[in-house]
């Protein structure tokens, strides 16, 4: 199989530029081939076993399976995370949220050790990125999924950071008494499910077919389901001066601001992502 024979069929699912990018990523990650190697025709020099592996990868990609799941890894803020079905593939926008937190934390003068909680950690990308970027922080991460906690633990081990992982259902009303005392955290952050069911029609088919719906969707009649529960908890668990960060659905900005105020957060700052969408909030009491 040549490079052209590998990427050309992917045009049934992707534009040519994206198809080529996916092909180059596969060849680099799986076979250590650089772009120079590819241009020199070294794809055709792969062993018979590697050629068969390449064909198997192509067949998986042609089903629409995301390349990150096929490779078992995704890049996030310069760090490689293990991913597989059962956890969301980390998005660049979410790294912008991490950057905002890290920049803000460096400007804040915190008298004691910074304590951070990531709710709905998935692959652990937020918790681990913050642990890497704020080395003095004590980071805790919660998720309801055993699979997600397993993958997050693996990623923490791979990146040599200490993140305390716990199985917690944020919608459980007995949460506070069972999992932490009051005034525990300097920072609480979450990227919870926020896509409305009515938005499904406009989503990419491979996302709908392969990524976990539990981590994506909320009911149309209760889009702030998780945000409300997290904000209610955060109002009690944040230390004085503590901050609550969210990645949000731009369609629900005004509802978010009203809900946060109702939960006691008197100040909320909205931040746009790289595409100009109102994507993040930072709130404090």
Mean pLDDT of 238-249: 96
Structure confidence at residue 183 (pLDDT): 72
pLDDT at 145 over 50: yes
pLDDT digits (tens, 9 = 90+) for 42-70: 999 999 999 999 999 999 999 999 999 99
C-beta separation of 73 from 29 below 8 A: yes
Of the given ranges (81-85, 86-90, 106-110), which has the lowest mean pLDDT?
106-110
Burial of 158 (0-12, 13-18, 19+ CB in 10 A): middle
Concatenate the DSSP letters of all residues of 151-218 into one string: HHHHHHHHHT--EEEEE--TT-TTHHHHH--SS-EEEEEE----EEGGGGGGS-HHHHHHS-GGGTEE
Mean pLDDT for 114-122 is 96
Least confident of 126-140, 160-174, 250-264: 160-174
Closest C-alpha to 92, from 79, 77, 78 = 77
Inform me whether the pLDDT recorded for 138 exceeds 80.
yes
pLDDT at residue 204, rounded to an integer: 84
- Percent of the chain at pLDDT > 70 equals 94
Mean pLDDT of 110-138: 91
State residue 250's pLDDT score: 96
Q: How large is the C-alpha radius of gyration of the chain?
A: 21
Over range 86-95, report the average pLDDT.
96
Q: What is the pLDDT of residue 200?
A: 86
Mean pLDDT, the chain, rounded, equals 93
């Amino acid at each position: 199989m040549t490079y052209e024979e590998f990427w050309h069929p992917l045009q049934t699912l992707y534009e040519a530029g994206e198809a080529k990018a996916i092909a180059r990523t596969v060849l680099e990650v799986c076979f250590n081939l650089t772009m120079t190697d590819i241009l020199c025709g070294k794809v055709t020099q792969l062993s018979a076993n590697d050629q068969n592996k390449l064909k198997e990868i192509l067949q998986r990609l042609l089903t629409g399976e995301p390349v990150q799941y096929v490779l078992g890894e995704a890049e996030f803020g310069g760090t490689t995370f293990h991913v597989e079905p059962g956890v969301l593939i980390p998005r660049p926008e979410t790294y912008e949220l991490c950057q905002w937190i890290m920049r803000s934390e460096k400007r804040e003068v915190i008298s004691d050790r910074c304590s951070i909680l990531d709710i709905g950690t998935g692959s652990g990308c937020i918790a681990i990125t913050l642990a890497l970027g704020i080395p003095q922080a004590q980071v805790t991460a919660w998720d309801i999924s055993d699979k997600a906690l397993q993958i997050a633990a693996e990623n923490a081990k791979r990146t040599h950071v200490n993140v305390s992982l716990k199985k917690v259902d944020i919608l459980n009303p007995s949460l506070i008494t069972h999992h932490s005392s009051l005034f525990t955290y300097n920072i609480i952050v979450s990227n919870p499910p926020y896509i409305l069911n009515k938005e499904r029609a406009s989503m990419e088919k491979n996302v709908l077919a392969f990524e976990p719906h539990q981590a994506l969707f909320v009911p149309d009649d209760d889009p702030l389901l998780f945000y409300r529960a997290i904000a209610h908890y955060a109002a009690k668990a944040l230390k004085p001066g503590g901050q609550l960060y969210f990645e949000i659905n731009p369609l629900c900005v005004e509802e978010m601001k009203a809900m946060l105020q109702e939960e006691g957060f008197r100040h909320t700052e909205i931040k746009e992502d790289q595409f100009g969408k109102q994507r993040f909030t930072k709130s404090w009491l």
